[in-house]
Amino acid sequence: MTARYTLGILAVAGLFTGASWLHAQTAPLQITPDSLPPATLGASYNQQIVTTGGVCSSNGTASSKIDAGALPPGLFLTSPTTNQKAWFLQGIPVAPGNFSFTVHLLWTYNRVSPVDTNCVDDVSKLLTLIVQDSNPNPNPNPNPNPNPNPNPNQTLAVDRPQIAATYRIPHLPPGADAVQVTSTGGVSAITVQSVTDSGGPWLSVTARDSSTPTALAISYSVSGLPQGTYTGRVTVSITETLVALTIPVTLVVTTDTTSVLQSAPASLAFFSVLGGADPPAQPVKIRVSGITASTDNLIFQTIVSAAPPNGKWLSVSPTTALTPATLTVAVTAKDLPAGVYNGVLRLAFGGNPNSSIPVTFTIQAPAQRPTIAAGGVVDAAGSGHAVAPGTWVSLFGTALSVTTRAWRDADFQNGRLPTSLDGVSVTINGKSAAVAFISPTQINVLAADDAATGLVPVQVKNTAGTSDGVLVLQQTAAPALFEFPGAKYAAGVHVDGSYLAGPSLVQQGIPGTAAHVGETIVLFGTGFGATQPAIPATDLVPAPLTLAHPEEFSLRIGGLEAVIVYAGLISPGLYQFNVVVPQVAAGDQPVVAELRGLRTQSALLVTIQR
């Protein structure tokens, strides 16, 4: 028998519709009573909390808790250990009084086969329970008649002949109303009773004492009452007489549709590093906007209404609270890759959404140490693999910096070039280089003075750490001529400042004209060594300085020596050469500079026009 055939048989048999097969009921679990039968102080009490409905199978586990208020001391909420959907209030009460509490009942069914489904019935309700004193009015007189000599002239009086109360869903229920009861003709034993005309037993009354004068506490159980006007009455009677007094009671139930929940802060932002600890939880204060503290008592709910991609990274506690309240919002990076996640906490009351709190969670990838690429240290003019003090050097790699910028005026302190930009620095053989430009993949620096020659280490340091050292050849000079970007043409200008540019460069968008035979042109380079007088390699240059040994410098165009008009340093690391174009043929001609036998890069051109 094939797996497909077997699945087909199960489907026909209805075994893939576990909800309708095992969980046949459709009405939700409900608690029937609003109040419980009274208990007597010191007497055993055993009362089932009657429920109806529920969508889960009867083979489950009952559990319970108290969400708000407190049970009378001595009583406990229990559930059978067997598969019985029942809950009981049991025990021996040890304190009298009128108690209100919210019970929370759960019936949990765990699936027993692969085609079944888990199920939970969940219900909460506010209940009231009166614990009566077993001997409310001790009297040493053994006469059982508390009012043995009724006075036909006795009357009752109250300070509030009628009571009106208002309950605004979902605010706190109205507090108990106090009514003072007096009688004429001396002390009178009384009984009290409450009756409602509609809405169930929402009205209750207790007397402070069993005889006058006394105070009545008129209470309201509003759980489950829809909007409307409800009437009832409290009757006070003198025991064993026909003397009675009725207090009409009106309860108006309305729904708050105007309040606006306000959060502080209005939004939340969390940050963490992938693989690190979750960020600490953050508090959010919730209150009703525009009302006084005495009326800020609205019961609201908070739910995570959106938290893509998995809905699990955002949580809030408590989910039900009374304003003013402080919520605790937490996030977890578990199972999430690096990225930015946006969620929403929705505040609601009376079953209707009211306001929302946006939540942003940024998970950053672990900071990566800077890495210099193999062969990634070159002179910035000709990309040669040798450097020297006072040479502009380019470093290439990854994670070299998190920002991209060149140095600014504010970076110069006391007339010295900056050795760090945004926490990024470079050392060549342990000497700090001046940093002119930083980016994630390239840094441009000016090498500092150093008497050492040969292979020396180069390292980059930033806020994420220090790179491994990369070796580069350091010489006393490393001459190179600057080039126009994207072409092997020497960067130069005419004496009027316009670019030296032949047709090829003009076509690439560099405006200019070619050089002429006999014309003095200006070329630029780096790494040409010491000057006269000497100056520290990373200092500002106050005035042009000629090469220390100009006789060791030469420049050829088209293979012919050019007359050197000027050769020297004009700016940190930048050398200028004013030369006369020799008698060479028109067209692109090679240009090479040489210092003490060290030549600039090959295949560099300058365009000549005759």
Looking at residues 88-98, what average pLDDT do you find? 81
Q: What are 301-350's pLDDT values in tens digits? A: 999 988 888 888 999 999 999 999 999 999 999 989 999 999 999 999 87
Q: Give the CATH class of 371-474.
A: mainly beta
Strands 190-196 and 228-238: antiparallel
Name the residue among 346, 538, 531 with its Cα closest to residue 428: 538
- 3-132 with 371-474: one CATH topology? yes
Q: Which two tokens stand for residue 587?
A: 């067209």
Q: Which CATH number fits domain 156-255: 2.60.40.10, 3.40.50.150, 2.60.120.620, 3.40.50.300?
A: 2.60.40.10
Q: Is residue 515 a contact partner of residue 608, using CB atoms and an 8 Å limit?
A: yes
pLDDT of residue 84: 79
Q: What is the pLDDT of residue 150?
A: 52
Residue ranges of domains in the chain: 3-132, 156-255, 261-364, 371-474, 480-609
Residue 319: strand pairing partners: none
> What distance lies between CA 250 and its chain's CA centroid?
48
> Residue 7 gets which letter from DSSP?
H
Contact between 192 and 201 under an 8 Å Cβ cutoff? The reply is no
Average pLDDT, the chain: 87
Identify the top-confidence range among 84-93, 165-174, 332-341, 573-582.
Answer: 573-582
Lowest-pLDDT range of 58-72, 429-443, 556-570, 581-595: 58-72
Instruction: For residue 588, give Cα distances in angstroms to 54, 502, 525, 608.
Output: 93, 8, 20, 6
pLDDT digits (tens, 9 = 90+) for 8-19: 333 333 333 333
The whole-number pLDDT of residue 114 equals 58
Indicate the DSSP class of residue 489: B
The tokens describing 58, both together, are: 């009867």
- Position 294 pLDDT exceeds 70: no
* 329 in Cβ contact with 281 (< 8 Å): yes
The predicted pLDDT at position 98 comes to 83
pLDDT at 2: 38
Overall fold of domain 3-132: Immunoglobulin-like (2.60.40)
Higher pLDDT, 411 or 35: 411
Question: What's the burial of 464, exposed, middle or buried (CB within 10 Å: 0-12/13-18/19+)?
Answer: middle
Cα–Cα dist 36/32, whole Å: 10
Split at pLDDT 50, 70, 90, the class of 212 is very high
Question: How far is it, in rounded angstroms, from Cα 574 to Cα 247?
Answer: 102
Class for the domain spanning 261-364: mainly beta
**pLDDT of res. 562:** 97
Helices (H) and strands (E) in the chain, counts: 3, 50
Model pLDDT for residues 234-285, shown as the tens digit of each residue: 999 898 888 889 999 999 999 888 888 999 999 999 999 998 899 999 999 9
Specify the pLDDT at position 392.
Answer: 97
Amino acid letter, residue 314: L
Q: What is the pLDDT of residues 451-470, one digit of tens each?
A: 999 999 999 999 999 999 99
- Looking at residue 55, its amino acid is V
| Gap between the Cα atoms of 286 and 280, Å rounded | 19
What pLDDT is recorded for position 115? 56
SS3 track for 92-107: CCCCCEEEEEEEEEEE
* DSSP SS3 for 226: coil
* pLDDT score recorded for residue 9: 30
Dump pLDDT digits (tens) for 497-511. 999 999 999 999 999
pTM for the structure as a whole: 0.49
CATH fourth-level superfamily of 480-609: Immunoglobulins (2.60.40.10)
